[in-house]
Amino acid sequence: MIYLDHHAASPLNASVRARMDDVGATAWANPSSVHGAGRAARAILERARREVGEAFGVSPKSVVFTSGGTEACNLAIRGLLPVGTRRGVMTTSVEHPAVHEPSQTFTDRRQIPWSESFDVQLPRLATDELLAVQWVNHETGTLFPVARWACQAKRDGARVFVDATQAAGKIPVQFDEIGADALAIASQKIGGPAGVGALLIRGAIAPLLQGGGQERGRRPGTPNVALLAGFGEACCQLSARRASMARITRLRDQLERSLVELGAVLNGVEGPRVGTVVNASFRHLKGEELVAALDLEEVCVSSGAACSSGLQSESPVLKAMYPAEPWRARGALRFSFGPETTDEMISRAVDKLALVLQRFMIQPSQSARAR
């Protein structure tokens, strides 16, 4: 199997699996319990919290564990400016659904329109507004100037949330250097287990849920200690993960050249971007059909955000980026890479895609002869 869908989830790092195995006999207990078993689980939990905090340059007290990146985004967007104290939210037009959809709960919603460089000044924000933006786009890898935007928003007195789920492990992410009030991280994007993540926060936040005082009252519920131990270990490996980015960028460039030779048009290459993803469209084909055909060839890719699979056939990100070329959204494929990706995987994936494209191109003439 050729796995090229790391922007959805990366395989578990070997040291992460080892850590989770090591704590398995202890991590089952409720870390809120005061007896010995609970204290042992608590020690594992707090070690993971320290590791996450150290990886992103914050105090452990600023780390709120969640069930993943989606919950972290929702907690930030709904909690930084609770209902009754907020006026509006400003986002980009290409956000992940985890940011876009909770932003719809605001009466006043403004979007930063797409531009090739995003070298724009934000409109002035009010003190009861929230700037909620992604750092790295999940489909194209586009890098946004979040530090500059956050600086401007803070001068206006607004609150700032940054979705860093696709940035962690690809570029250095230090919370204090961004200037945001909150920042979301997802474990499965950095070689950790799915089902856990974190919101790094500065100051108070209103909880989404009620029913317990866990996470200093910010996120009630009994945590999955074993998964969080794996998350902590994944954070310890972030430097090694980032060290592979130069090699991965070379693989990206290699794949892009091959895709162009096969007739694809590249998406999102106009501005700065990370090296872990290629987004390409085929004018007369549907991305979802290509994904299915490649899956039969044991090549794992996607046509957009994994959370949207089966719900929509066209990428809203590419629709916003290329409104005059709707075929780009219909015919998109996303190939994304991690430290496990090799030259051989890229070469084999290109060969498989060439076979798939040949079959798709032959079918219309065969159907015509049959009629």
Point out the residues that are catalytic. Answer: 307
Bridge partners of residue 109, in order along the sequence = 89
Q: Is there a contact between 152 and 122 (Cβ–Cβ < 8 Å)?
A: yes
Sign of CA dihedral 319, 288, 268, 195: positive
Residue 60: burial class (beta carbons within 10 Å; 0-12, 13-18, 19+): middle
Whose CA is closest to 276, among 237, 248, 239?
A: 248
Q: Quote the tokens at residue 53.
A: 């905090």
Task: Answer yes or no: are the C-beta atoms of 147 and 177 closer than 8 Å.
Answer: yes
- Continuous H helices in the chain: 14-23, 36-56, 69-79, 97-103, 146-155, 175-178, 225-236, 238-243, 245-261, 287-296, 316-321, 327-330, 343-370
50 has which bridge partners? Answer: none
Question: CA 60 from chain center: how many Å?
Answer: 22
Residues 81-98 as b/e (b if ≥16 CB within 10 A, e otherwise) read beeeebebbbbbbbbbbb
Number of H helices, E strands in the chain: 13, 12
Beta pairing, strands 129-134 & 159-163: parallel
User: Rounded CA gap, 250 and 326, in Å?
Assistant: 29
